Each structure stands twice: as C-alpha cells, then as structure tokens.
Amino acid sequence: METSLEIVDFLGGPLDGYQRTMTPDMLAGLVEFDVSENTFRIMAKKREKRMVSATSTAIYQLARAHGPARYHFIASVPLHKEEGSQPTLSHIIRSALRRVIGR
C-alpha cells in the first residue's frame, strides 16, 4: 500500500514559510518546536557543530479546510529555567492558550 505524502506549510511565528513533507498519520492537532539560534540552520539542513539551548517554544495548530494541511502559529512561550527544570508541554500549551484567549 502506498503512503501518501503532502507538503505542509507553517504560517506565522518563527517557522513562517517553512514547509515539511508529512504523511497524514504524522499530522497532530497541536505541534511544538523548540526555538534556538540553530533552528533555522537545522531546517535548512545545514549541519550545526555546537548545540545551543532552546530559548522558547513555538506552538502551531493544524488547520485543514478544503485545501492542503497548514499549521498556524498560536504563540511562542519563553523557556525559563527555574531550579534547573524546563516547563512541561502542558504548561507551555496552557500558557500559550491563556495569551491567545486573553485569560
């Protein structure tokens, strides 16, 4: 059985204009990307020799109308290091959604 591939566009935020080839089973309602100095080099498939810690997390929501799948930027949440730990994904999503809906 042949797996269908589609090009998915990312709109807005730090990944604006980025395209990724995905299969339908790879599409999730919400996706998050850690953003650092290296993010754009990695997306351009350039090798990066040094690791850089993420400074924020960008959250995108899947929008699938009658056309191709697209991820729309929802929010960027800074990653604060408190006592050596990073916030959980659920904490990041709750914070982002509060910013979007104004609560």
At 16-59, the pLDDT tens digits run 998 889 888 888 888 888 888 777 776 676 666 667 778 888 99
Q: For residues 63 and 65, what is the distance between their CA atoms, to the nearest angstrom? A: 6
- What's residue 11's pLDDT? 94
Does the pTM surpass 0.85? The reply is no
**Residue range 88-97: average pLDDT?**
64
CB 20 within 8 A of CB 71: no
Q: Indicate whether 10 pLDDT > 90.
A: yes
Q: For residues 55 and 90, what is the distance between their CA atoms, to the nearest angstrom? A: 17
Q: Indicate whether 4 pLDDT > 80.
A: yes
What 3-state class would DSSP assign to 81?
coil
